[in-house]
């Protein structure tokens, strides 16, 4: 293959149409045909990264191995492609402008008048090509955030148009649209799609394929109408109906032979055809009869479940993968820690669960309720996994209930506590004092050494691991010997032994009580579930047989 190939995925009609899953799925089916594939996400925000965005509004902040705080779609790419996606594969309007302005200040434009067009599109193109080169990709998926016709993403569409103009044989456009079926009419409507494509045409882009999202599969008359009025071939209209499991999407695309059609447009021949493992996983996911009931106590409970699924998407998917490995279905339920604060008797509902998870988060809302739930899990041998904040609160609960430090706390919640078992990292205190909030936490993959003979070491099956972090607060080593003397096992530390990364209770006193300072959910994949989630689910199944 002489030239690298690029596929731009653009959305129309409305936001939330599924461009991220479509991009990841197309990447997967092309990878299954033997090609090296990577994916790039472009967010039309002035924010330099996703770290300062509210998860309630924007979804999960996903952290890469090299410490970038990105949009949740980078997580989708990693899970579908089973590959690490790094900083170069994510850009925002803010990041692009910041780079151009910095170069102008450094006289890198040789005294030229620097303009929005063409210099911003040129910067976008350079970044796309850099990502493809660094990933050694033969085919690069490029998802442009937003919707065709919006002002915010016009410069990214301009970059895509320029790339196609220069090398038309190496660039394809895939348009993801939505076809509504008004309940009072009962007929699938194509007019919004026709208008959206015309809007895209006004940016100088003609789609090669149109993916038709809808409540039901698109029928032949609708395909013919879209083909005629949107100027595409009928076989390039791909049906993408609503489904229960997003991992079914690549299989549905292949029913329409999408990978074959894309490769034909590029003048490429498939090297192989191998989606077998993925098909087996999807078959298990859709047919599990026995359920594993998992309770999650998250910060955003009161925001509505449709938002929770975005704010904690990596945690949710990691639980599902582990359940599927044991041929079970995950029954995930959201637990309100505010309720446990008001009514401690409500904790009794936890006896109905196989296991409990407290994920990462910030702030004081419902924190005492979380600590009460963690205490219940410890006393009643309910398998528990604490992630980041969930690990810190696990330490607070243990210090209070087992070590007798009744006022133990994290300084994030009570800066004046007499027993700060969790405190801010010194370098983080300096950054907060200077109001340096963006991209300043302890981020990215860090090494961790596991203590031999511990549950963590058994689950990982090795002595040294690398896991991704996103936090400002840490375990306070002043209390290390006291906590250990009372039975808390420190099973993972930084190589210099200064930072506590994993704590647990020994298996002879609890089936699974583990807290980790990092975010294992960021490294869990559908075909390769994370060992900590596998351990949690296995313990949950064993406890409630």
323 secondary structure, DSSP code: H
- Which candidate in 230, 323, 355, 388 is catalytic? 388
Residue in the structure block whose two tokens are 């509004």: 57
Helix (H) or strand (E) holding 32, with range, is helix 19-32
Are 135 and 89 contacting, i.e. CB atoms less than 8 angstroms apart? yes
3-state secondary structure of 361: coil
CA 365 to chain centre: 24
Tell which residue, 214, 179, 180, 210, has the closest CA to residue 197. Answer: 210
Q: Which residues on neighbouring strands pair with residue 514, listed in sequence order? A: 385, 504
Residue in the structure block whose two tokens are 């936090």: 471
Q: How many CB atoms lie within 10 A of CB 255?
A: 10
**Residue 519 is a catalytic residue:** yes
CA distance 453 to 492: 11
- Which candidate in 78, 521, 530, 538 is catalytic? 521
**Residue 521 is a catalytic residue:** yes
451 secondary structure, DSSP code: P
Q: For CA atoms 89, 94, 96, 102, give the dihedral sign.
A: negative
Residue 168 burial class via C-beta count within 10 angstroms: exposed 0-12, middle 13-18, buried 19 and up: exposed
Beta strands 5-11 and 171-178 are: parallel
- Which candidate in 212, 519, 530, 538 is catalytic? 519
For the CA atoms of the chain, what is the radius of gyration?
Answer: 25
State both tokens at 503. 């704590």
**Residue 349 is a catalytic residue:** no
Q: How many CB atoms lie within 10 A of CB 266?
A: 21
Q: What positions carry a catalytic annotation?
A: 388, 519, 521
């Amino acid at each position: 293959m002489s030239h690298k190939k690029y596929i731009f995925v653009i959305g129309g009609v409305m936001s939330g149409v599924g461009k991220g899953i479509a991009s990841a799925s197309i990447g997967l089916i092309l990878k299954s045909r033997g090609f090296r594939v990577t994916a790039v996400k472009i967010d039309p925000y002035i924010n330099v990264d996703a770290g300062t965005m509210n998860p309630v509004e924007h979804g999960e902040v996903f952290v890469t191995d090299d410490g970038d705080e990105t949009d949740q779609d980078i997580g989708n790419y990693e899970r579908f492609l089973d590959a690490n996606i790094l900083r170069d594969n994510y850009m925002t309007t803010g990041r692009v402008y910041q780079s151009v302005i910095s170069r102008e200040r450094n006289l890198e434009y040789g005294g030229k008048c620097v303009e929005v067009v063409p210099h911003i599109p040129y910067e976008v193109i350079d970044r796309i090509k850099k990502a493809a080169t660094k990933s050694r990709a033969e085919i690069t998926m490029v998802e442009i955030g937003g919707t065709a016709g919006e002002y915010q993403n016009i410069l990214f569409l301009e970059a895509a148009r320029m790339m196609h103009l220069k090398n038309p044989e190496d660039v394809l456009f895939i348009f993801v649209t939505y076809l509504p079926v008004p309940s009072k009419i009962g007929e699938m409507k194509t007019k919004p799609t026709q208008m959206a494509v015309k809007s895209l045409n006004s940016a100088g882009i003609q789609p090669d394929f149109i993916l038709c999202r809808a409540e039901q599969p698109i029928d032949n008359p609708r395909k013919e109408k879209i083909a005629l009025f949107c100027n595409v071939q009928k076989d390039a209209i791909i049906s993408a109906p609503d489904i229960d499991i997003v991992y079914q999407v690549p299989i549905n695309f292949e029913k329409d032979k999408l990978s074959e059609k894309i490769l034909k447009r590029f003048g490429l021949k498939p090297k192989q055809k191998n989606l077998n493992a993925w098909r087996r996983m999807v078959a298990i996911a859709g047919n599990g009869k026995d359920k594993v009931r998992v309770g999650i106590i998250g910060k955003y409970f009161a925001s509505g479940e449709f938002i929770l699924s975005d704010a904690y998407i990596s945690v949710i998917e990691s639980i599902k993968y582990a359940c599927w490995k044991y041929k079970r279905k995950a029954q995930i339920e959201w637990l309100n820690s505010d309720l446990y604060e008001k009514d401690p008797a409500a904790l009794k509902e936890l006896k109905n669960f196989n296991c409990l998870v407290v994920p990462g988060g910030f702030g004081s809302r419902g924190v005492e309720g979380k600590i009460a739930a963690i205490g219940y899990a410890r006393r009643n041998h309910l398998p528990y996994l604490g992630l980041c904040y969930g690990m810190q609160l696990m330490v607070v609960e243990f210090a209070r209930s087992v070590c007798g430090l009744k006022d133990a706390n994290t300084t994030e919640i009570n800066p004046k506590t007499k027993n700060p078992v969790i405190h801010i990292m010194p370098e983080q205190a300096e950054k907060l004092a200077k109001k340096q909030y963006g991209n300043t936490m302890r981020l990215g993959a860090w090494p961790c050494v596991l203590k031999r003979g511990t549950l963590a070491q058994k689950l990982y099956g090795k002595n040294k691991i690398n896991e991704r972090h996103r936090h400002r607060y840490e375990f306070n080593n002043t209390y290390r010997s006291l906590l250990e003397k009372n039975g808390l096992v420190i099973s993972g530390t930084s190589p210099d032994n200064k930072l506590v990364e994993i704590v647990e209770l020994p298996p002879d006193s609890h089936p699974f009580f583990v807290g980790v300072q990092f975010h294992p959910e960021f490294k869990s994949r559908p075909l390769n579930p994370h060992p900590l989630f596998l351990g949690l689910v296995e313990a949950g199944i064993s406890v409630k047989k």
